[in-house]
Amino acid sequence: MKRVSFLVAGMFMLGSTLSGPAVSASVTLAGSTVDFSFDDALPGLFGTPGVSGDTLFFTPTTFAAQSLNGAGFSLTHASANIRITAREGRVFDTLGLIERGDYLLYGAGSLVEVGGQLRAFDVSAPQADLTAAIAANGPLTAQGLPTHDWTAGAVLDASVFDGRTISVTIENLLLASTATPGTLAFVEKKYAGLNVSTLAAPVPEADTWVMMLTGLGLLGWAARRRRQMAGPIMPE
């Protein structure tokens, strides 16, 4: 009887383990001069990412917000965190985010907005970070069908980062609102692309090399001088 109880308990524990939450894993995609790393749970509303050159891009299909017949505000939001590592011999220059989608407005008082924030910090010095607002490139006010395109973007000066790995967060907000019956507001994100620009790491100038070699020479001379002053070691 005890053996049966132990077997049942063991099967229950195994079933609990197999049916428990999946353990997330890190994924790395290689660009031309940088590598993009993120948790495999990243996609969410953004969709599965891809890489072209040094651009990490998403093509979401369910990232939308809508409000119907005076239902008030509807907000859809999501954030993605990516670590970007520059290859040996490269330094960061700029980060540029471009987003695109479409929207539909019908009736007075209907409105849509897109927004969010691009944030980055140096992993080797995380105490300070840079931020830029994600803003639409024009007003989203056109009424009626067909749907109308929108674009948005943000830029950060990444040349201030000294380290080779930076952490970047993309926060996206979609807002739709209607105030009266018979109105409609719909907005959808269809593309988000994070482009990383890098430069060749600067090569030390000639006078810098001279100073380095002079310093090494002085260290060698000091070491020889200490040995000479210590004198020979006499046998006991």
Q: Could you report the per-residue pLDDT of 216-234, keeping only the tens digit for each?
A: 665 665 666 666 666 555 5
Residue 69 has pLDDT above 50, yes or no: yes
State residue 214's pLDDT score: 60
160 occurs within a structural domain: yes
Q: Closest Cα to residue 31, out of 53, 50, 16, 47?
A: 53
8 occurs within a structural domain: no
Contact assessment for residue 150 and residue 43, using Cβ atoms and an 8 Å cutoff: no
The kind and range of the H/E element at 152 are strand 148-157
The set of residues, in sequence order, having a beta carbon less than 8 Å from that of 113 and lying 6+ positions away, is: 136, 140, 173, 174, 175, 187
Residue 75 has pLDDT above 70, yes or no: yes
CATH number for the domain harbouring residue 167: 2.60.120
- Domain with 93, as residue range(s), is 25-198
On average, the pLDDT of the chain sits at 85
18 occurs within a structural domain: no
How many other CB atoms are there within 10 angstroms of residue 164's CB atom?
Answer: 19
83 occurs within a structural domain: yes
15 occurs within a structural domain: no
* CA distance readout (Å), 99 to 18, 115, 189: 39, 10, 7
Residue 77 has pLDDT above 90, yes or no: yes
16 occurs within a structural domain: no
Share of the chain above pLDDT 90, in %: 70
Contact assessment for residue 169 and residue 80, using Cβ atoms and an 8 Å cutoff: yes
| Encoded amino acid at 26, one letter | S
Share of the chain above pLDDT 70, in %: 75
pTM of the model: 0.76
Residue 177 has pLDDT above 60, yes or no: yes
177 occurs within a structural domain: yes
7-18: average pLDDT: 42
- Count of domains for the chain: 1
Both structure tokens of 19: 């049916």
C-alpha–C-alpha distance, residues 106 and 145, integer Å:
8
Q: Which residues pair with 177 in a beta bridge?
A: 73, 111
* pLDDT tens digits along 91-105: 999 999 999 999 999
DSSP 79-127: EEEEEEEEPTTEEEEEEEEEEEEEEEEESTT-EEEEEEEEEEEETTEEE
Contact assessment for residue 121 and residue 232, using Cβ atoms and an 8 Å cutoff: no
